[in-house]
Structure formats: C-alpha cells, structure tokens
Structure 1
Amino acid sequence: MKNIFIAVFCLAGITCFSACDDWTEIENVDINTPGMQEQNPAAYAKYLQNLIAYKSSDHKVVYAWFDNSEKTPFSRGQHISDTPDSLDVISMMYPAELAEFELADMQTVRTKGTKVVYTISFDKIQKEYTEKVKEGTETGTFDTYLKSELDKQIGYAGNFDGLIAEYKGTNPIYMSAEQKAEAKKNQDAFFSVVSTWKTGNADKLLTFQGYPENLLEQTVLTSCKHIILATDNVTDDAQLSVVARLAMVGAGVPTDRFVVAVSTASLDAADKQTGFYDTDRALLEAAYWTTEHSDDYTRAGLAIYNVQNDYYNAANTYLYVKSAINIMNPAPKK
C-alpha cells in the first residue's frame, strides 16, 4: 500500500509542473507536449495500475461536480481529463448532450479508475415545474411532469458509470397528514424509477444526495454506495457534525457512508462567501473534518461543487483540491 501512495502522489507532483500554465492556452492551437505516457509508457502503465489499486483501497472518497456547459472549450480547465487523477467520481452537470471531446475525456479518466456520473435531482425537477406553472407554460399535474422528466433523464445513463439521486424535500415532522401522504407519493415515484434502474444496472454506481431524515419509508439508501449530506450551505466545520447527526434520525439510514459537500471558491473575486467558512477555505476545513473520528458514524469523504473553478490558480492547477485530497489521504512518510 505504501508504494501505491508514493507512486500516485509522486507522479501527481511531476505532472502538475507541466500543467500549471495550461489554462492560458487557446484550445485550437496545436501544442503537443509529451507527457509521462509518451516519455515512459512502462512507468505510466505502472502508475495507472497503482492508481486504480489506490481507488480500490480503503480511503476517503472524493466526488466532484464539473460544469461541462462549454461545448467549444478554449482552456484545459474545461476538460475533465485535466482534473486531479485522485478524484474517485466526477458528476457532469450537463449530461444531456455530450460533445465528442467530452466522450473522449470520459474514456481518459476511466483509465485512471475514475467513474463518471450525473445527477438526477427531484428538487430541481419540482422547482422547474413550479416555475413553469407560474409562467403558464405548464398546465399538467406534477405527477405527469415528474414521470416525463424521470423518463428523459434516466435515458442519459447509457453514457455514464452511474448516477447521483438527489432528494432534499421537507422534514416530515412539520407536515400535516395530507402533506406527508403527498410527499410519500412523490418519493415513491422518484425512487421507484431510480431503484428499477439500479436493479437493471447492478454494476453501476448509485449515490444518494440530500437529507436522509426527510425520506418516508424508503429503502433506497441501502443500495447507495455513499450518502452525500446536504452540507454545501453550512458556514463552519462544526455544523458538518450537526448535519450528520440529524441525518441519523431517519429510520434505517446507513451511517457507514457519509460524505459532506462543499464548494470551491467562486471565480468572482468579489464573492468572499462561496467556498469559505468565514475566511478559511471550506474545502480544506471540510477535508480536515473527515479525518476526525466519530463513534457512531463514518466520515467517508468529500464532495466538491464546481471543481473546475480550482483549476485557475497561478501557483498550481487544482491547488486546493489536491491539498484537500492530501489532507484526507496523505502519502505515508518513509
């Protein structure tokens, strides 16, 4: 195992120097700088072997959401193939129409043991329906709209290694009996589609995201590799523990797979809140939080929103993401 970590992080250190200025390059300029793969194929093959072994080992997992809205890239920062090799799962934020370069990038990261998924969000579907009703562009029932959207979005799965099912909802303790019945009906409709897909794709990844305590008699969590808690809006690391303990209130919630979510810093220099706990980087503080021990639940890892923002660092591409990974999964000292 020691050799696995050394190989992974030593090569990451080598490659970061050649990549640190990539984001200034224009995509359509033909610049071919030989990398380790071309310079030493045998060493690169060994690196990939060690990298995949590392991802199969017991370690803190790292999910990352990637904004792939740009279909004519002009920066290496718009390629998932340039994200840190140690990412375990990348969720593409726009899964519907993938460009040829995206499909190629997906194949590249798969050779490194990285899974590429996308997110289906009940809350997003519900919000879009409500907005369309207000605009007068939707006159049907939510049941019909939900089924149509689920059928459409589950159809994207063929290009991916799995999916994240997001459900935040509302805490049922504040609901009337009628509201609870409505919430249960909607949950059943959402998770039945997800569970049917998982049954037919046992080899693919399924992850839950949201508030487990808001689920009503749902068993889907036992089929989920991880539970990404809705912690992206917390303001300090102490609140991460609060959210984790609230999640345990739900009946039958597995406590051995909790992942917390944070955002990278905004590319807007005026935004001093996104990606920060006060003046500290949320990414780093949450990474340290995962290394602390809990007696009654497992701090399994970290999920990172807008991971691509961290590419644009003068000192090193993906500086804070790499630092967070190293905090959670440090290379052993000799």
Structure 2
Amino acid sequence: MNKIINRIFSFFVLAIIIVACDTEIENIPLQEPVVRDAQYYENLRAYKKSKHQLAFGWFGGWKATGTSPVKYLRNLPDSVDVVSIWGTWHSLTPAQIEDLKYVQEVHGTKVTFTIFSHNMANFPGNFENIAENIPAAAKAVADSVFKYGYDGVDFDHECSGSDLFNKAVNMTTLLREMRANLGEDKLICVDGFIEKITEEGWQYADYAVAQAYGTSRPSSLQSRFNTVSKYIAPERFIATENFESYWSTGGVNYADPELGTIPSLIGMARWQPEDIAEGQHKGGVGSYHMEYEYNHTDVEYKYLREAIQIMNPAKK
C-alpha cells in the first residue's frame, strides 16, 4: 500500500469536515501527501454517516494474517462503505476480530457476511430446510451477527424450482424474523434475485444489491431497478460488477451516452435511475471479489476508487 499513498489519495479518497457553525457536511480539498491523523479518521467516519452513494463489495480470502496486504480489510480503500465477507465468515481468529473492529471503529466501515438463502443447511445451526424452522434459523443468524460483531447480513438469494425460499412467503418470513432479531440498527441486504422479494419483504431489508454482471448499457441497469422500484427508493439500489472475471479491465465494455465506451463499473457509477426526484440518487455501486483489484500494478483498487470519485467527487 505504501507505493500508492502519496500518489493517489489526494485524487480518489474523500475527506470531509463538520462545519463549526452548523451540521452541514462538506467535501474539502486534500493536500498531498494525506496525513492519516485523528482528524482524518474523524472526517472519514463522518463522511460514512452522510448522505452519499455507497461503495460496496464482496471480499473473499479474508485472513488478516501474513505479509500479503490483500488479506486484510484495513487495506481496502478508506472510502469503501460496506463490505460483505465472501467465504468463511465464522470461527474468526483473534487477528480477524481485530481487523474487523479496526475498519468498523477507525474507518467507519460496515461489515456483513454473505449466506446463500436457498437452503437453511447453509445457516448457522444447519437446520432442516422446512418452513417451521425459519424463526429459529433467523435467530441463529442474528446470534452470529452479534457474536462476531458484524454490522448485519447479506442474503445471496438465488433460489429456483422447489427451493424453500423460492416461495415468496417464506423469504418474507425470513426477512421479518431477521429484522425482529437484529433490531433496526443492523443491515439486511439481499442480492441475486431481488425481483422475487415482496413489498413486505422490502420493509425489513435495507438494500437491493443487483448482480448486474456484464452490463453493457444504461437500459440494462434501468431494467434491473424497475423490478424493485415499486417497493424501494433509488437510494436503496446498489449495482455491482463481477471482478472475479473483469477486475483487470474494470468490467465489460459499457456504452455510455456521453463518453462512449467505458468500463462497466465506471458506467454504473455514472448512471442514475430515470425520472428520480431532485436530490435523489442510486444507492451506489460495488464489485464481486473486490479484492482481486489489489493486483493492479499501477493503482490498487483503481476502478473502485474511480467509481467512488465519480459518485462522490472530492474537491481538487
């Protein structure tokens, strides 16, 4: 990370201050190099609490040990808002617990974990996959959130056929029970088949995370948003690209109406839903296997950083 700190944070990382005379939060210009002192992190945490478009990502291979910086949450770009652990999220080591607390308390980052929702055998407790077990399974998930100190849960909802949670009533029950157990302060995200979530279900879940993988045009993003727009505001819709496949190029070729062909993650960052009210915006953008972007030889996480800068420009 040291090779990029002095070169890029003045361009990509957002900094803010709380104006002494009121509560307004403003972007401020950065000087080079960035000094990561107590004031910097106070500003960063305040920025995370402000109204803005979010940077989201699924993070795999989390170890928080060894010499490779990519194994640590703390080496993600400072302005990432929400991370969902992909892979083993339980049985955390002391090093992982310390890394988790650091990004939460110092960076103000929210960290969830991802569970496949098609079968409760994937849930803590390995429940038999019958509807009667939904309340107990939801409590087990919530207990794990609190046990490890996570900020919530992300359900990868890719159910089909005879899967228990392919029935809307069962998924609605799961989300209702999750909210009852977690309270109002924890995050519930749903990704995958977000169009299958009911109006009531969206009363309990916070964000619809669209797996908009390989999206090549704004109309495709709009179509995905249209599947949930009756139930949620634009600020709760997050579009994501597959960086397990496309990290090196920032996505696929995307036809931007103003810039022409650009990387799809950058297109997602520039896109806004049609016919939204003044002052509204989409929820944000993100990437699957965000950690792959550490492999860029010029700027680590460069496309994610550029997307953040587009959505929430810092003053030069």
TM-score (norm 2): 0.73
Residue type of the partner of 1:157? V
**Structure-to-structure mapping, 1:148-297, within 5 angstroms:** 150=138, 152-158=140-146, 159-169=149-159, 183-198=167-182, 201-216=183-198, 218-232=199-213, 234-248=215-229, 252-264=231-243, 266=245, 275-277=251-253, 280-290=262-272, 294-295=275-276
Partner amino acid for 1:230? Q
Query: Which amino acid in structure 2 is aligned with residue 60 of structure 1?
Result: Q
The structure-2 alpha-carbon separation of the partners of 1:225 and 1:267, relative to structure 1 and needing over 3 Å to count, comes to closer
SS for the counterpart of 1:191 is: helix
Instruction: Return the structure number with greater strand share.
Output: 2
Q: Which residue of 2 aligns with 1:18?
A: none
Percent sequence identity is 21
Please state how far the C-alpha of 1:293 moved relative to its aligned partner.
5.6
Contact 1:211 1:247 in 2 (8 A): no
Q: Comparing both structures, which one devotes a greater share of its residues to helix?
A: 1
Distance change (3 Å), C-alpha of 1:219 and 1:143: closer
Other-structure match for 1:300: 283
TM-score by length of structure 1 reads 0.69
**Structure 2 vs 1, CA of residues 59 and 293 (structure 1 numbering), >3 Å: closer, same or farther?**
farther
Larger Rg over CA atoms: 1
Question: d(CA) in 2 for partners of 1:127 and 1:285?
Answer: 37
Residue-by-residue CA offset, 1:64-122 (whole Å, 9 max, x unaligned): 11113546434001101000010111111221122222211112212121111112331
Q: Equivalent residue of 2:283, what SS?
A: strand
Unaligned runs of 5+ in 2: 1-14, 18-25, 255-260
Aligned-residue offset at 1:238: 3.0
Q: 1:283 Cα deviation (Å)?
A: 1.8
* 1:263 partner amino acid: N
Partner in structure 1 of residue 20 of structure 2: none
1:120 to 97, 108, 115: 115
Pair 1:80-2:102 in alignment:
no
Shift of 1:313: 1.3
Q: Kindly state the Cα deviation for residue 329 of structure 1 after the two structures are TM-superposed.
A: 0.9
Query: Contact between 1:237 and 1:277, CA under 8 Å: does it hold in 2?
Result: no
List aligned pairs for 1:35-184, cutoff 5 A.
36-37=35-36, 44-70=37-63, 72-93=65-86, 94-110=88-104, 111-123=106-118, 125=119, 142-143=130-131, 150=138, 152-158=140-146, 159-169=149-159, 183-184=167-168
C-alpha distance in structure 1 between counterparts of 2:186 and 2:206, whole Å: 10
Q: CA deviation at 1:247?
A: 2.4
Work out whether 1:6 is the aligned partner of 2:28: yes
Provide the alpha-carbon RMSD of the alignment: 3.7
Aligned length: 280
